[in-house]
């Protein structure tokens, strides 16, 4: 065999290999150039960000200047932006520092407590971080850091200001002043998104025996839940469509009317709370346990604090508009009942007796002129 024919470096094979090596060299050089260019771009970005910063929040109306302007301006404008009167806001800042550990600035140019608390108020109002940055002329990191400082101080504040201010073993003054609610003496609330499950230790359990929540006609009358009579007028707007001084037609309507009125007290209270804080209507995607839950608690505590310090603790929010309020009672098939009105089927006999007892008590009170035109 011819040795020249077996040599891969001779003739056309040599030219092909040379061409392939040249292409590989060009490709390697291009990759190196691309890597070098990317490194230069990254280095330029890093330099612009960390060494040659271009200020972003440069408005002459800084956050602190804006707070000072609000203090010097109209009370209505202050309340619109900070959700409370000037004197209440000042007292809040003072108590957060003195009683709940909110730190005052240690540097001459540090953020004032009032500015930090105002940023927290904007979070509760539902403002986005970017909006707060622009309003107070601070970076994202600065806003987040100071909002979390205020949130931390709010933990103990929430414990203190979500605690009832009266003994749970006596009748609340609001109920005592409205005799129509007295027959519902074992009611502890209304189921309208307000119930929270809990486990009670044995020695304390007896305190809750016989208690119940008010529920609407969509619920069965079960142990712990007192529902209205179905098939009768229930919502307050249904009663308002008749003459203002006309009484409920039947004992069951009387029960339903007072039941609905008592439910509305709870609903209006929660409506006022939700109306004050915009973040509740559109919850941001914060960490659930560490931020969302704490924000809800802080908003409740602040709601109580504002009400208790404005001299108008009974302010409430209407439940709904006229169109919503005219909704007819749920068209749920009625369960059968015997001649005494005791509910059968899927309803609990004990709660049916409780309901009848309250109905009869209300009728007695109305017949003796204790309820007025109800």
- Contact indicator for 227, 335 with CB cutoff of 8 Å: no
What pLDDT does 204 receive?
A: 64
Q: What angle do CA 281, 270, 143 make, to 5 degrees?
A: 45
Distance of alpha carbon 253 from alpha carbon 233, whole angstroms: 6
Distance of alpha carbon 334 from alpha carbon 227, whole angstroms: 12
Alpha helix locations (H) across 10-163? Answer: 11-50, 63-72, 75-82, 86-100, 113-124, 129-136, 140-161
What pLDDT does 183 receive?
A: 86
CA of 349: how far to CAs of 68, 191, 220, 303, in Å? Answer: 63, 20, 11, 40
Distance of alpha carbon 84 from alpha carbon 121, whole angstroms: 10
Alpha helix locations (H) across 125-181? Answer: 129-136, 140-161, 173-176
Mean pLDDT by 10 residues, the chain (374 residues): 54 75 87 88 79 76 94 95 95 96 80 95 94 94 95 95 76 79 80 52 66 82 88 75 65 89 81 86 83 92 93 48 34 39 63 92 89 77
Q: Tokens standing for 189?
A: 């609330």
Residue 326 DSSP class: T
Q: Within a 10 A sphere around the Cβ of 282, how many other Cβ atoms?
A: 7
Q: Tokens standing for 359?
A: 């109905």
Which domains, from first to last, does the chain contain? 63-161 (1.10.472), 173-279+315-367 (no CATH)
Let me know if 347 is exposed, middle or buried by CB neighbors in 10 A (0-12, 13-18, 19+). buried
What pLDDT does 333 receive?
A: 36
Distance of alpha carbon 119 from alpha carbon 139, whole angstroms: 12
Report field, pTM of the whole predicted structure over 0.85: no
Distance of alpha carbon 279 from alpha carbon 259, whole angstroms: 31
What pLDDT does 146 receive?
A: 95
Distance of alpha carbon 43 from alpha carbon 45, whole angstroms: 5
Residues across the chain: 374
- Selection from 341, 356, 350 nearest residue 223 by Cα: 350
Distance of alpha carbon 82 from alpha carbon 302, whole angstroms: 12
What pLDDT does 144 receive?
A: 94
What's the start-to-end Cα distance of the chain, in Å?
122
What pLDDT does 148 receive?
A: 95
Q: Tokens standing for 22?
A: 């040249």
């Amino acid at each position: 065999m011819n040795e020249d024919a077996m040599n891969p470096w001779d003739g056309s094979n040599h030219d092909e290999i040379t061409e392939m090596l040249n292409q590989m060299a060009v490709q390697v050089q291009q990759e190196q150039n691309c890597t070098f260019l990317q490194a230069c771009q990254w280095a330029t970005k890093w330099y612009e960000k960390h060494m040659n910063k271009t200020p972003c929040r440069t408005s002459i109306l800084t956050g602190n200047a804006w707070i000072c302007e609000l203090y010097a301006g109209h009370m209505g404008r202050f309340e619109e932006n900070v959700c409370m009167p000037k004197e209440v806001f000042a007292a809040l800042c003072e108590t957060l520092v003195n009683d709940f550990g909110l730190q005052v600035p240690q540097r001459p140019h540090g953020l004032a407590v009032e500015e930090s608390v105002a940023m927290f108020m904007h979070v509760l109002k539902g403002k986005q971080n970017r909006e707060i940055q622009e309003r107070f002329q601070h970076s994202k990191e600065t806003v987040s850091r100071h909002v979390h400082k205020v949130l931390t101080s709010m933990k103990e504040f929430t414990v203190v200001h979500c605690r009832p201010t009266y003994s749970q073993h006596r009748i609340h003054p609001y109920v005592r002043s409205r005799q129509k609610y007295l027959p519902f003496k074992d009611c502890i609330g209304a189921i309208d998104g307000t119930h929270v499950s809990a486990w009670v230790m044995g020695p304390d359990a007896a305190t809750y025996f016989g208690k119940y929540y008010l529920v609407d006609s969509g619920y069965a009358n079960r142990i712990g839940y007192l529902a209205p009579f179905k098939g009768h007028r229930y919502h307050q707007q249904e009663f308002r469509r008749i003459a203002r001084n006309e009484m409920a037609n039947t004992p069951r309507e009387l029960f339903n009317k007072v039941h609905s009125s008592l439910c509305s007290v709870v609903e209006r209270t929660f409506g006022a709370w939700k109306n004050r804080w915009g973040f509740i209507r559109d919850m941001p995607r914060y960490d659930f346990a560490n931020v969302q839950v704490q924000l809800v608690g802080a908003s409740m505590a602040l709601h109580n604090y504002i009400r208790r310090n404005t001299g108008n603790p009974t302010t409430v929010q209407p439940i709904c508009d006229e169109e919503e309020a005219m909704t007819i009672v749920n068209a749920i098939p009625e369960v059968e009942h015997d001649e005494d009105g005791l509910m059968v089927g899927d309803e609990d006999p004990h709660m049916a007796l409780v309901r009848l007892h309250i109905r009869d008590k209300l009728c007695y009170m109305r017949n003796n002129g204790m309820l007025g035109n109800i």
